[in-house]
Chains A and B, each alone.
Chain A
Amino acid sequence: MSDPILRLEGVYTNIAQYHILQGVDLEVPRAAVTMLLGRNGVGKTTTLRSIIGHWRAHQGRIVLDGQDITRIPTPAIARAGVGFVPEDMGIFANLTVEENMVLAAVSGPINSARLDWVFQAFPPLKTFWKSEAGNLSGGQKQMLSIARAMVEERRLYLIDEPTKGLAPAIVSTMARALRELKAQGASILLVEQNFSVARALGDTACVMDDGRIVWSGEMRELATDASLQERLMGLSMEAH
């Protein structure tokens, strides 16, 4: 792989006495969607949180576009161009949709063309622009969470389970928006439990187990090899 946008080299992360990441080696190619897959509790969320700096890697290196970001503070990592959509969405419930979006536009006022693009992807956000985010439905909150990352161009998007617990129609909306983001040349590291979505969006995939990457390769290779899925993730294609 030539010149990835993000590289993790032997990353170990501990949370209190728990050793969650145990030597993660991972490369995220440019202008592609990399799926981070694996069973619950194997360290996918911890990997994203270590990259954004919420939890510090105790050992190893995290390199963004040639710059070592292992020890730099979270705001500096975000300003270096990393957009983060956490698993719990991180919505500011007492702020309006507009205020959430204004806050996400770190470099200045929101670009109106960019905002129109976001509205096209997520029409309910325009409808509820002046409403408190806490009054939105679960799906709308997830739309807002992703829209905040999309409102400015980022070098890398870290997105944690965007379709978790959502109705099929909303899952389709999310998938379309992410596909659109991908079409614009974005580099995305996406944690996703919905294998259908992963298969539709992913270019490459990394599978985690027990705090390590145990397999990485082309997504289509994983998608077409049922025995590999069964072995790596306990997935059964009949379930999808």
Chain B
Amino acid sequence: MSMAPEHAPTMARLSLAQRLAPWMPVLLVPLLVVAGLLAIPNTSSWLTLTVSGLAMGMMIFLMASGLTLVFGLMDVINFGHGAFVSVGAFVGVSVLLLLGGMTGAPSLALNLAAMGLAVIGAMLATGAMGWAFEKVIVEPVYGHHLKQILVTMGGLIVVEQLIIVLWGPEEIYISRPEALKGAITFAGAALEKYRLVAVGLGLVVFAAMRWTLRRTKIGLIVRAGVENGEMVQALGYRLRLVFVGVFIAGSALAGLGGVMWGLYQEVVSAHMGNQAMILIFIVVIIGGLGSVEGCFIGALLVGLMQNYVAFLEPKVALISNIGLMVAILMWRPMGMIPVVKAK
């Protein structure tokens, strides 16, 4: 075959500022941590707050990561996502209450096994619920944003009421497994064991999601589908199946987040998912619709900001995350790492 005609493209070397620009959102987390260090005079308090903020961020990430993919891939505004958080928390807590012998034993292995079973139960329940939710509530309203908001909010209310029917109207208090109670002392700072576990779990889930999205064909299909679903179908992939799979995975992740969030607060209620939705939406919006990396960074920023500001100026803490969202959207209107164009 003959060669193409003269066409020798080159890529110009980018300036330092241009090369740093994509990394700016990532740098925000260490910048906020340093700002916290400068603002909080006591180093041990700063360390405690930082771990607490990271743990909170990781749990918000668990709850929000599924929603950002559903937003990005399916263009679905799912206000009912909080239902999966609540159901996950209730199922997880029920499993833990059943396994009282394991959670009460002073054995880290038994405690983690009980938590593992609780997480598996919650993820199975919320994954199955996600499949039904997509089929019954979301599928009829694809492409209709207003209807999506209305029916998914309706779905959330129905699920909340079903939780009250099944588990009763009262909040359920749950204590953490024995080996995860208390704190360890590091550099003079008290670091809660449970929060360290939450940080570890969040990192593992983030790494697994990133690996799946970056290194597997199904991940490629999802990323491509977020950008241009029509073309993915024209290449021969059944995007509808991918939609359902992502919805189920996102719901299961919300269930996992619900268990962790419930144990973090040591109380679960039917409305906890609904209450968490404000933080979840902030994270999804500032991260950039459809971006798992943006969601991760956004969640860490929200967690750290909430903890630092609550320590420094408790009254301002209520609006600190809204302020963060406004600042980030003024800087990057499409979010920190936008994947999906505004639709």
Contacts of A223 in B (CB 8 A): none
Q: Are B9 and A124 in contact (CB under 8 A)?
A: yes
A180 to B4 CA separation, bound complex (whole angstroms): 11
Task: Tell me the complex Cα distance, A124–B4, Å.
Answer: 10
Q: Is B343 an interface residue (CB 8 A)?
A: no
From residue B72, how far is it (CB to closest CB) to chain A in Å?
11
Considering the complex, give the chain A residue whose CB is closest to the CB of B236. Answer: A78
Q: Which residues of A contact B170 (CB under 8 A)?
A: none
CB pair A75 B233 closer than 8 Å: yes
Q: Mark A86-105, 1 if CB is under 8 A from B, else 0.
A: 10001011110001001110
A173 is an interface residue with CB less than 8 A from chain B? yes
Residues of A within 8 A of B7 (CB): 123-124, 139, 169-170, 173
Minimal Cβ-Cβ distance residue in A for B238: A75
Tell which of B99-107, B129-137, B195-203, B222-230 binds the partner: B222-230
Closest partner residue, chain A, to B337 (CB atom): A94
Q: Residues of A with Cβ closer than 8 Å to B?
A: 52, 54, 73-75, 78-79, 84, 86, 90, 92-95, 99, 102-104, 106, 117, 120-124, 127-128, 131, 135, 137, 139-140, 148, 169-170, 172-173, 176-177, 180
Interface hub of A75, A106, A127, A137 (most chain B Cβ within 10 A): A75
Determine whether the beta carbon of A173 is less than 8 Å from that of B5: yes
| Max count, chain B CB within 10 A of own CB: residue among A79, A103, A117 | A103
Going nearest first, the 9 A-B pairs with the smallest beta carbon separation are A90-B231, A78-B236, A106-B236, A74-B233, A173-B4, A79-B236, A84-B234, A92-B224, A75-B238
Is the CB–CB distance between A172 and B5 below 8 Å? yes
In the complex, are the beta carbons of A121 and B4 less than 8 A apart? yes
Which chain B positions have C-beta within 8 A of A123?
3-4, 7
B11 touching A103, Cβ below 8 Å: no
B5 touches A92 (CB 8 A): no
- B1 lies within 8 A of A120 (CB): yes
Known: A120-B1, A124-B9, A169-B6. A52 touches B220 (CB 8 A): no
